[in-house]
Amino acid sequence: MYDFSKITGAIHNWLSSIMPDLGVIITEWVLIGVVFLAFFALLGLILVYAERRIAGFFQFRLGPNRVGPFGMFQTVADTVKLLLKELVGTKEADSFLYNLAPYFLIIAALMSMAVIPYGFNLVAYDVNIGLFFMMAVSSIGVIGILLAGWSSNNKYSMIGAIRSSAIIISYELSLGLSSVLAMVLLAGTLNMNEIVMSQQAGWWLFRGHIPAIIAFIVFIITGTAETNRVPFDLTEAESELGAGFHAEYSGIKFAFFFLAEFVNMFIISAIAVTVFLGGWLPIHIPFWDGFNGIMDYIPGPIWFMIKTSIVIFILMWFRWTFPRLRIDQVLTLEWKYLLPISLVNLILMAFVVMMGWVF
């Protein structure tokens, strides 16, 4: 295991040797902020490119292929275009709230990213309520969506915002009950790092067998709904609403919403990987000691990124497979099927943990 606290500790010691305590604190705040913003933007670029290439793959076409090798710089070019575009707003809108709304989504996404463990001791904010903190912070994003829809002074934006917040508020229940509670019962802790460390003997998805697999399926469905992706993308159904709650945003403000949506997909995948798939721990197969030894040489962050990419690929696969649902179908699915299933699953999980039927 590569211990990243050695690197971060070395940076801390070096900073303490050249400046006073206050300077060290402020420099570290700025450093972590810059690192996370850079990671955030890079993630957006890569995910948009991946989405377009995968869309092409599923539809038997190439996708972006002109700018750079394999069209890799297409999203960079798109970003430059978005940055240079004129910012157009609506005349009668409440401009303060209109400009403020994108930041709610961005800040909620950034704060969630802070508690994800990317490697051994590689986490920005190691808090004892990690998973609960993520659920709490992501609930702030809803207010951004509502404000964006309302302050645009456009009925299509308003309908999109109401649909989006209705979906997010109702699916949050199943997300919390299935993933957080059921898996926390297994792991016995809310700390993200400790959840990963508790999976050294095997991933919870396999060790928790039936209830864990039910929880994983419910988590993936509700996670797709939380990020407003197909088949739950009726919030921005192009054919009826234009673009939903961000219809009136242009240029860089639109890019904020777009970026937050893709980063939220990464966050959902990161939670799935951390809670169900062993986080940054390498793949181990029982009794294959040589194979396990080789796997141990690959650093944790690489494992984390590989596993997260696989879950992201599954979410993108959904997008090109399922047709869009109606709002009543979406809410029926949550309240009549997923919520009862996850409640029963929670009781089942408690029973399994009580009887010690965990591998």
Partner 1 sequence: MGAQIMFYILATVIVVFSFLAVTSRKVMRATVYLLFVLLATAGLYFIIDYNFMAGIQLIVYAGGIVALIVFAVMLTEKIGDKIESPSNMQMILAGLISIAGAGVTISVLLGHDFKQSTQNIGQNVATIGENLLNYGKDGYVLPFEVVSILLLASMIAAIVVAKRKFEN
Least distance between partner 1 and beta carbon 100 (Å): 7
The residue within the footprint of partner 1, chosen from 72, 129, 230, 327 (CB under 8 A), is 129
CB of 104 to partner 1, least distance (A): 9
Q: Which of 50, 127, 283, 327 binds partner 1 (CB under 8 A)?
A: 127
- Least distance (Å) from partner 1 to the CB of residue 32? 12
Q: Residue 183, interface with partner 1 (CB under 8 A)? A: no
Minimum separation from the CB atom of position 129 to partner 1 (A): 5
- Per rule CB under 8 A, is residue 354 in the interface with partner 1? no
Residue 194 interacting with partner 1 (CB under 8 A):
no
Contact 243, 233 (CB under 8 A): no
Handedness of CA 292, 295, 301, 306 (dihedral sign): negative
Residue 143 binds partner 1, judged by CB under 8 A: yes
User: Which phi and psi angles does 250 have, rounded to 5°?
Assistant: -135, 170
Q: Is 244 left (phi over 0), alpha (psi -120 to 50) or beta?
A: left
Q: How far is the CB of 24 from partner 1 (least distance, A)?
A: 9
Angle of CA points 240, 246, 249, to nearest 5°? 125
Q: Find the part of the chain contacting partner 1 (CB under 8 A) among 143-151, 216-224, 237-245, 321-329.
A: 143-151
16 binds partner 1 (CB under 8 A): no
CB nearer partner 1, residue 71 or residue 102? 102
Helix ranges (DSSP H) in 59-191: 74-84, 95-114, 130-138, 141-151, 155-175, 182-187
Tell which one of 41, 77, 140, 348 touches partner 1 (CB under 8 A). Answer: 140
**Cα(36)–Cα(127) distance, integer angstroms:** 17
For residue 119, the SS3 value is strand
Q: How far is CA 138 from CA 85, 183, 260, 331, in A?
A: 29, 19, 11, 20
Binding mask 29-48 for partner 1 (x = CB under 8 A): x-------------------
What is the distance between the terminal CA atoms of the chain, rounded to a whole angstrom?
24
Binding site for partner 1 (CB under 8 A): 21-22, 25, 29, 92, 94, 96-97, 100, 127-129, 132-133, 135-137, 139-140, 142-143, 146-147, 150-151, 153, 165, 169, 190
